[in-house]
Structure 1
Amino acid sequence: MARKLFRRYLPSAAKVKDNPSLHFLGDLLHDPNLFHLNRHSVSVAFFVGIFIAFIPIPGQMPVAALAALLMRCNLPISVALVWLTNPLTMPAIFFATYQLGRWLLGVPPISVSLELSWEWLANEFVFIWKPLIVGSLLCGLIFGALGYIAIQIFWRWHVVKGWNKRKKRPKAVSPEALEKE
């Protein structure tokens, strides 16, 4: 079943609850919905994780964890999916979301010399923040919804496949049926 596939790669609820760095959350981690592996919990977690991954903010993992707590969906999946935007993919993703936002808002392109420093970020961010946020929110919503729908379809397909597999299995013959023959 699809549940077994996800369970293979996710940490157990006990392992997450016993993590000393998460003790500040107290009883919030004891909500069983945060670790359920059902179609609803996993698909909402995909939406949350992918949506947060597209938002250009520092600390995406705690934000995804908070969103998982609020939405009561699978916490480990939500947190893991924010790594779609990692140091290797982040520049390309955020450049694409900026270009989309720029196109949607009708903002002319600006020539910016890219420099990785806090000074550059403080000076240049005022020119790019609106298109970046608009493009990021739109992409987050679209790709999050696509992730939600894909998991819903995948889960349903996996369940139907299991049903069909069980239908094709030869039925066991009971001892009473053997005696009648």
Structure 2
Amino acid sequence: MPRKFLKKHLPSHESIRQNRFVRCFGTLLHHPNLWHLHRRSVAGGVAAGLFAGLIPGSNPVQFFFATLFSVLFKVNLPLAAFVTLYSNPLTIVPLYLLAFTLGRWVTGSELDNLQMLDPALLDKNISEWLPILTEYLTTYGKPLITGLVLLASLLAMCGYMLVRVAWRIYIIHARRKRARQQK
């Protein structure tokens, strides 16, 4: 069931190889584990996609890193690219707030309140707003970056283990069902 469902809903090997962001990987995309649907490859693809989904940037950037992680770790590439879509315009703010809170907790940063940048800075030239932006990023950037790495790692580990356990439970259930039918 999981294999049939995934094969039906994931893009084909050829359609991914033709993608302009993935084409730069060339022959690296010929490894069989990048396309096969087995427990380790699927679990790794989910983990790679969950980690890449929190990398700052738009979907093409996240797809690129999901592809890179898939090639490096020899895990399912289509699934890794698909899973990055969990971070979208509706979920990115809560995810980043969670990452910021986690980063603040880990680094011990004592930030009473998050101050917004003044929109009037956009009307000024770069020499006026660059120092303000740099100070803002050094104040709030360390907890955010730390939190993003920790949250991405935590999501990847949890996703990997969840897929492995769920796949194993499904296999045990299917074997027992087959055994009952053969009696």
In 1, Cα distance between the equivalents of 2:115 and 2:141? 13
Contact 1:56 1:133 survives alignment (8 Å): no
Query: Deviation at 1:47?
Result: 1.1
Q: Pick the structure with greater CA Rg.
A: 1
The answer for the alignment partner of 1:104 in structure 2 is 106
Q: What is aligned with 2:145?
A: 133
Q: Is the 8 A contact 1:2 1:159 kept in 2?
A: no
What are the residue-to-residue correspondences of 1:23-172 with 2, within 5 Å?
23-57=23-57, 59-109=61-111, 110-113=113-116, 122-123=133-134, 124-170=136-182
Q: Which runs of 5+ in 2 are unaligned?
A: none
Structure 2 equivalent of residue 175 of structure 1: none
Specify whether residues 115 and 90 from structure 1 end up closer, same or farther in structure 2 by C-alpha distance, changes over 3 A only.
Answer: farther
TM-score, normalisation: structure 2: 0.82
Q: What's the secondary structure of 1:111's corresponding residue? A: coil
TM-aligned CA deviation for residue 122 of structure 1: 3.9
Shift of 1:99: 1.3
TM-score, length of structure 1 as denominator length: 0.83
Distance apart, 1:97 and its partner CA: 0.7
The answer to whether residue 5 in structure 2 is matched with residue 10 in structure 1 is no
Whether contact under 8 Å (1:46, 1:81) holds in the other structure is yes
1:5 maps to a residue whose letter is: F
Aligned-partner residue type, residue 116 of structure 2: S
Deviation at 1:155, TM superposition (A): 0.6
Identity of aligned residues (%): 31
Deviation, 1:14, is 2.8
The one-letter code sitting in structure 2 at the alignment partner of 1:81 is V
Cα root mean square deviation, aligned:
2.4
Instruction: In structure 1, give the amino acid aligned to 2:55.
Output: I
Alignment of 1:166-181 (within 5 A): 166-170=178-182
Going from structure 1 to structure 2, the CA distance change for 1:112 and 1:42 (only over 3 Å counts) comes to same
The answer on whether the counterparts of 1:52 and 1:60 sit within 8 Å (CA) in structure 2 is yes
Find the aligned partners of 1:11 and 1:146 in 2 and give their Cα distance: 25
Deviation at 1:150, TM superposition (A): 0.5
State whether residues 56 and 94 of structure 1, in contact with CA within 8 Å, keep that contact through their aligned partners in structure 2: no
**1:13-37 CA distance string (max 9 Å, x none):** 13323x2524333212221111110
**How far apart, CA to CA, are the structure 2 residues paired with 1:147 and 1:24?**
28
1:134 deviates by: 1.2
Count residues with an aligned counterpart. 170
